[in-house]
Amino acid sequence: MVLAAVGQFCATSNLAQNAQIIKSLIHKASAAGASVLFLPEASDYIAGSPAESLELAKPIDTSEIFVNGILAGLKEIPENAVKPYVSVGVHEPTEGGKRVKNTLLWVEPDGTVRHRYQKIHLFDVDISNGPILKESNSVEPGNQVLPPFDTPIGRLGSAICYDIRFPELALRLRSLGAEVLVFPSAFTVRTGAAHWEILARARAIDTQCYVIMAALTGTHDKAGKRQSYGHSIIVDPWGTVLAQAPDVDTEPRIITADIDLSVLKRVRENMPLWTQRRPDVLGYEV
């Protein structure tokens, strides 16, 4: 078994403040003995407009969140303490400069960025007489499913937030060898209250993988236009919720759970879904 930590906090447009919170969460994860810390989507900032997002997005190697948050946090951990791997969602500039990338980074304990996934499915919703949310106005979609990679808690498959509503992505990651799926998120309060836990447990049951969802929480701007649901969650391959953050406040916090691949192996052996799939009948293979 390996202990995983999941961080939850309220990001704003204040880059320096967000970086300091992330640094504190790295220290919390280390003190708990966690080998990996998972942080939410958009941990670097939540912007009030596409123009502000373009202004705030910086190359990761020079960004506030990376240099004064992640690198500083890892550097400050004593040599005799656990120095966690860090999974973190950030924004990065695009080559054209008209939109940003919504990416998920995997950072080694020495600060090396080993893996970078760009969000494929963007949250575009236009409800009659209701809210209009167009992530594509400011974000460039990714076009590639990345193969899972080895980590201290197992083979990790990367996805981000809205990606969880498309089960074919989770199934594809499982078919490529994933044992753990991550969906760092900034769910709206309304959709979170309706579907957050259901989606987390469904994807875990569909794929027989651990599902880890680090979430932003609280109100991100003074006007209260942008709010996130929180409820960061860790679910095992049987669909059991192992840990979930409370929603009583927006204090930065971590939750933890042991990731036990022997449990995953037993679930897959007892219910051998992957050997019983019928792409010959369904007409497709994920």
Active site residues: 41, 119, 161
Structure tokens at 134: 């167009």
Termini Cα distance of the chain: 29
Structure tokens at 264: 């995953």
How far is residue 121's CA from residue 196's CA, in Å, rounded to a whole number?
A: 17
**Nearest residue to 252 (alpha-carbon basis) of 43, 15, 30:** 43
**Nearest residue to 258 (alpha-carbon basis) of 16, 34, 7:** 34
Measured CA to CA in angstroms, residue 48 lies from 14, 123, 134, 220, 225 at distances of 11, 16, 13, 9, 9
Structure tokens at 4: 């995983």
CA 35 to chain centre: 16
Long-range contacts of 49-53 (CB under 8 A, 24+ apart): 49/138, 50/99, 50/137, 50/138, 52/13, 53/91, 53/100, 53/138
Structure tokens at 214: 């680090």
161 phi-psi bin (left φ>0, alpha ψ -120 to 50, beta other)? left
Measured CA to CA in angstroms, residue 255 lies from 8, 33, 162, 228, 231 at distances of 8, 12, 22, 18, 10
Please report how the helices 167-175 and 189-207 are oriented relative to each other, as an axis angle in degrees rounded to 10: 30
